[in-house]
Amino acid sequence: MISRALSFLIRLSYVLVDIGCIFFSIFLASWLRQNAFPMTLQELFFDTSNPFHLVFVIWFVTVLFFNGLHHLYQTRREVVEFHEIGQVVRSVLFAAGTVLVFVYGMKIVGFPRSVFFLIVFFTFVLFCLWRFLKRLFVEFLAANGYNNFNVLIVGAGRTGMMLAQEIKLHPGLGLRVVGFLDDVKTATELGPEHKVLGKLSQLEEVARKNFVHKVFFTIHPPGNIFYDMIETAKALRIAVRVIPVAFDRAVGEIFKFNIGYIPVLEYSGLGHNRVQYGKRVFDLMMSGVALVLLMPCVFLIGLLIKLDSVGPVFYFSSRYGCGGRVFKMWKFRSMVVDADARLAELKAKNEVDGPIFKIKQDPRVTAIGKFLRKYSLDELPQIFNVLMGDMSLVGPRPLPLDQVEREDPNQLKRLEVRPGITGLWQVRGRSDLPFHRLIKWDTWYINNWSFMLDIGILLETVPVVIKGKGAY
């Protein structure tokens, strides 16, 4: 745990870095616009006779004030990077609006608007850049054991196991799961990676013995049990986190507000999927750029496939797309030409649950095909599907026709949007992910889509593909 003195020094360093960014932004904007704003460093910051000196003072004060108001002088590791960037946007815009009101209210004449807009732009860019680097540094320290927190999860059911998996996938959070509390599950049911340390009534004993800092409730115990556990955690000075019921079915943000003294969680827009405005334009732009950049790689892979085995370079598979429309999905051929005919004899060896067929040592896969599959290079031709409008860059993965037709109709919700080249399935485990969890993540993605979510998934896909884990 960080001491109060160290916490104060960290916040002070954040403020000082912001001050440096603001100074540099003003100087850079003034230097770029010397014809419209011919002022030296001395005149800009230290000459009180400068008619615009007060504008810069107000800019400093308002930016720092709004940064503090938006909690930008602390690093909450559980909050995603894009949330912090969003807070920077709000802070800079509020500060800019305040300064503009001041300039017009005080009737300060002659202050160049182009200089001010450059200052706002550079301030935003520098704030984002250094916070991105700061977060990388903090996550590096946390992943290497600095200031980590011991976590106890109440409930060893599906939600509890999902939470443990997400914590494992994000070592930068600095959370270490010590085990579970559950009145039904036992350690033998969870496997060697997870421990049931006791029943719900043993919270105090388990928390003390394992030096627990945070407890996550993934179930909601009946009667006074939940209340008693909250009081126990409070007495032990343990932070309590509660996972909302049916979080995977929530649409959009989960808002908290109060009715009188009663806190309420609102699942906004329940029952209505987010309309993916602009997603098609984004797909066309990004896939067009990717196609130009990756064309040499496409030709090289095609040549290697032809040299490795007999058959065509591309393989076309019929898949269900948005609204149940059937399309031909492009892939580099990674198997022998009679792979589909040999599928029946291998069905009994399937190693994944649900309708999907996957085995780690599939004899139909060619030598070059193993390499392509490990690093998902066989999926590259799907850029053509994106350009043709059959697929999106990010979305639920399209399943073969027979796998969709014989599966639970509840999973047909995945067909409400365009399927994607990558998605939450890929960044959460690829082929190692159970089918029921695939459906859960795809449903959550559809209900909570945003551009920032798509960009985040695309960025997360890169290290997952490079590691090659879970692909076969």
Cα 130 from Cα 332, distance rounded (Å): 41
What domains are defined for the chain?
Answer: 4-143 (no CATH), 149-243 (3.40.50.720), 279-467 (no CATH)
Residue labelled with tokens 């697929």 = 391
- H/E run at residue 421: strand 420-422
Cα 301 from Cα 280, distance rounded (Å): 28
| Burial track 406-421 (b if 16+ CB lie within 10 A, e otherwise) | ebeeebeebbebbbbb
Phi then psi for residue 369, to 5 deg, are: -65, -35
At 77, the amino acid letter reads R
Q: Where are the extended beta strands (E) located within 6-164?
A: 149-154
Cα 89 from Cα 102, distance rounded (Å): 20
What does the pLDDT read at residue 366?
92
- H/E run at residue 208: helix 203-209
Phi then psi for residue 194, to 5 deg, are: -125, 145
Cα 93 from Cα 66, distance rounded (Å): 9
What does the pLDDT read at residue 27?
83
Q: In this structure, what token pair is assigned to residue 219? A: 């179930």
Length of the chain: 472
Cα 328 from Cα 348, distance rounded (Å): 27
What does the pLDDT read at residue 169?
79
Cα 350 from Cα 355, distance rounded (Å): 10
What does the pLDDT read at residue 45?
63
Residues in the chain predicted with pLDDT less than 50, given as ranges, are 270-273
Cα 295 from Cα 38, distance rounded (Å): 48
* pTM of the predicted protein model: 0.56
Closest CA to 73 of 82, 83, 62, 84: 84
Judged by phi (left if over 0) then psi (alpha if -120 to 50, else beta), residue 358 lies in: beta
Cα 416 from Cα 271, distance rounded (Å): 13
Task: Report yes or no: 420 and 394 within 8 Å, Cβ to Cβ.
Answer: yes
Nearest-10 crossing angle of helices 158-169, 435-447: 80
Q: In this structure, what token pair is assigned to residue 305? A: 């496939």
Nearest-10 crossing angle of helices 53-69, 113-143: 30
Q: In this structure, what token pair is assigned to residue 52? A: 């615009």
Closest CA to 330 of 392, 397, 379: 379
Strands 149-154 and 175-181 come out as: parallel
Phi then psi for residue 317, to 5 deg, are: -125, 135
Question: To 5 degrees, how large is the angle CA 364–CA 366–CA 370?
Answer: 105
